[in-house]
Amino acid sequence: MSDLCWAWHDFDAMTPRLLHDMLRLREAVFVVEQDCVYDDIDGYDPIAQHLTAHAGDAVVACLRVLPPGTRNPRPSIGRICTAQAVRGTGIGRELFRRGVAHVQTRWPGQAVFISAQQYLSRFYTDFGFVQISTPYDEDGITHIDMELAA
């Protein structure tokens, strides 16, 4: 999808429409599709930087980056999701590649942390991430902590 518009957003600069569309995508993927009731609006969005990909007026992919010392001593990437309609197109890989590059530019010399759904571990290992924890349950889904060395 070459007609995508990629943009980084600070929370306070997001329009109400953009915030709505991003949260709607996260709800569609994490709550509805994965049948997981969890606290998506967890208080971290206001201090995060958000990457979105738009196809026309629709947000089709997003993630958030938390600064070091927020939920983890290292900078972390989370809430990584793509709309069902764009899966298999490479957008998820491009989304994550951009997120990692952003963290490495903003906090050079620091490792990057993710709490990954275990079934996606191969996706993340393709980017150089390694598992650093035993599997654990988070909201009914098996997760593992992963890290990309500095």
Q: Is 97 domain-assigned?
A: yes
Look at residue 16 in the predicted model and tell me its pLDDT: 97
Look at residue 3 in the predicted model and tell me its pLDDT: 86
Both tokens of 86, joined, read 């764009």
pLDDT class of 2 with cuts at 50, 70, 90: low
> What gap in Å lies between CA 127 and CA 71, rounded to an integer?
22
Q: Which tens digit of pLDDT belongs to each residue from 37-54? A: 888 999 999 999 999 999
Q: Is 33 domain-assigned?
A: yes
Phi and psi torsions of 43, nearest 5°: 90, -5
Look at residue 125 in the predicted model and tell me its pLDDT: 98
Both tokens of 108, joined, read 């050079």
Q: Is 147 domain-assigned?
A: no
Tally Cβ neighbours within 10 Å of residue 16: 7
Domain extent, residue 36, equals 4-108
Q: Which tens digit of pLDDT belongs to each residue from 108-140? A: 999 999 999 999 999 999 999 999 999 999 988
pLDDT at residue 1 above 60?
no
Look at residue 35 in the predicted model and tell me its pLDDT: 85
Q: How many CA atoms lie within 13 A of 128 on its CB side?
A: 9
> What gap in Å lies between CA 49 and CA 86, rounded to an integer?
22
> What gap in Å lies between CA 90 and CA 97, rounded to an integer?
11
Can you point out the beta strands (E) in 12-150?
49-55, 58-66, 76-82, 112-117, 130-131, 136-138, 141-148
Q: Is 75 domain-assigned?
A: yes
> What gap in Å lies between CA 22 and CA 10, rounded to an integer?
13
Please report, for the domain that includes residue 20, its CATH number: 3.40.630.30
Q: Is 43 domain-assigned?
A: yes
Q: Is 94 domain-assigned?
A: yes
Q: Tokens 């208080």, residue?
A: 43
Both tokens of 111, joined, read 């490792």
Q: Which tens digit of pLDDT belongs to each residue from 7-47? A: 999 999 999 999 999 999 999 999 999 988 888 999 999 99
CB 49 within 8 A of CB 102: yes
Q: Which tens digit of pLDDT belongs to each residue from 51-102? A: 999 999 999 999 999 999 999 999 999 999 999 999 999 999 999 999 999 9
Q: Is 47 domain-assigned?
A: yes
Q: Is 144 domain-assigned?
A: no
CB 9 within 8 A of CB 47: no
Domain count, the chain: 1
